[in-house]
Chains A and B, each alone.
Chain A
Amino acid sequence: MVQYSSDLDAVFAAVADGTRRGILERLGRREASISELAEQFDMTLTGMKKHVQLLEDAGLVRTQKVGRVRTCSLGTRRLTAEAAWIAKYHQMVEAQLDSLGDFLERTKGDQP
C-alpha cells in the first residue's frame, strides 16, 4: 500500500503550480523528454529541470536517461491521480471549515 500521508505535502507542493499541473497533464497523454517539455512550455531547460525534479521528488513523475536524452513519464499513474485527489480533497475540507466559520459568524443573531 502506498504511504499517502508521507507523500501528501510533496504532492500538494508539486501540484500547487500551474506549470507543473500542465506537465502532468501533458505526460498523462504521452511521455516526453525534458527538452520537448521545455519547448512546449516555453521555458529554459534549467527551469524545466527544476519542475520535473519537484514532480519526481513527489513521485508524480518518473525519469529515465537513455543516452543523452532524459525521458519523463508519469509515476505510478493510477496512484498519482489518487494521491493528488486526496491532497485536493484535503484542501477543500480546510476551505469549507473556513467558509462555515465565516457563515456562522455572519449569521450570528439571525436565528433564535
Chain B
Amino acid sequence: MTTTASTTGTTMRHTLSTPTDRTIRVERIFDATRDRVWRAYTEPALVAQWWGRGNKLVIEKMEVQRGGHWRFVEHTPDGETHGFEGRFREVTPQDRIARTFEWDGMPGYTILETAEFTDLGDGRTRVVGTSLFFTPEERDGMLHSGMEGGMAQSYAALDKLLAEGRDR
C-alpha cells in the first residue's frame, strides 16, 4: 500500500493508493467546474493538450460513447511513438467514464480505467480514477506457451518507454 498526498496552491495534488494488488486509485480536486473537467476528458482537441504530458499527441480515434473505440499515439522528442487504445465501456455525461486501456508495447495487458467526476458545489471538481489490471490469461484464458518471445519484445519496448520517461 502506497499513498502520497500534498498540496500546491489552490489545486490539491493527486492522492495515489493501491487498495488491492492490481488496482490503482487516484483522487484529485481541480479548481475548475465539472463541465470544464468533463470537456477536458472527452473533447479530442482538449485531450490532446494534456494527456501527452508535454509530448505531441495524435488522437487517431475517439468515439466517446459506449462501445466506441479510442486510439492515441504519443510522439516523444527523440522520435519514438507509442500507441494506446481501447474501448469505452460506459459514458455517463458529467459523471463517469469507463474504458479499457492497452499500450501497444504490452499487448493483451488490458487495464480497465474508470474516472468519476463530482461537482463540489464551489467551482471545484473531484476526479477519482481507478485502474484495474488484467493479465492476458485473465482476459483471454490463454496458456503461457509461446509467450516468451512476445515478452522479450514487450520488455525491449518497455525499456524504451521507461528510458524516455525518466526525467519526468
From 72 to 101 in chain A, residues with beta carbon under 8 angstroms from any chain B beta carbon are 77-78, 80-82, 84-86, 88-101
Chain A min CB distance to B22 (Å): 6
Write out the residue numbers on chain A whose beta carbons fall within 8 Å of the beta carbon of B133: 4, 82, 86
A104 touches B31 (CB 8 A): yes
Report chain A residues within 8 Å CB of B13: 97-98, 101
Nearest CB in chain B: distance from A28 CB, A = 5
- Give the residues in chain A near B162, CB-CB below 8 Å: 15, 21, 84, 88
Q: How far does the alpha carbon of A2 sit from the alpha carbon of B2 in the complex, in Å?
A: 16
Once the chains bind, are A88 and B165 in contact (CB under 8 Å)? yes
Count of chain B residues with a beta carbon within 8 Å of a chain A beta carbon: 53
User: Is A25 in contact with B30, judged by CB distance below 8 angstroms?
Assistant: no
Instruction: Knowing A21-B162, A24-B155, A85-B109, say if A95 contacts B21 (CB, 8 Å).
Output: no
Task: Give the distance to chain A from B90, nearest Cβ to Cβ, in Å.
Answer: 19
Complex contacts, A3 vs chain B, CB 8 Å? 21
Size bin of chain A's contact surface: 35 or more
A-B contact count (CB 8 A): 126
| Cβ–Cβ contact A4 & B18, under 8 A | yes
A105 at the A/B interface (Cβ < 8 Å)? yes
Question: Does A8 sit within 8 A of B, measured CB to CB?
Answer: yes
A70 to chain B, nearest CB (A): 22
Measured in the bound complex, the distance between the Cα atoms of B156 and A22 in whole Å is 10
Q: Does A36 contact B (CB under 8 A)?
A: no
Whether A21 and B159, one on each chain, are in contact in the complex, defined by CB atoms closer than 8 angstroms, is yes
Please name all residues of chain A whose beta carbon is closer than 8 Å to the beta carbon of B111 when the two chains form the complex: 89
Of residues 45 through 59 on chain B, the ones whose CB sits less than 8 Å from some CB of chain A are 46, 49-54
Q: Could you tell me the distance in whole angstroms from the C-beta of B126 to the nearest C-beta in chain A?
A: 12
Give the shortest distance, in Å, between A82 (CB) and chain B (any CB).
6
Within 8 Å of chain A (Cβ to Cβ): is B37?
Answer: yes
Chain A residues engaging chain B, CB cutoff 8 angstroms = 1-5, 8-9, 15-16, 18, 21-22, 24-25, 28-29, 77-78, 80-82, 84-86, 88-105, 107-108, 111
Chain B residues close to A by CB (< 8 Å): 1-2, 11, 13-14, 16, 18, 20-22, 24, 26, 28, 30-32, 36-37, 39-40, 46, 49-54, 103, 105-106, 109, 111, 127, 129, 131, 133, 135, 144, 147-148, 151-152, 154-156, 158-159, 161-163, 165-166, 168
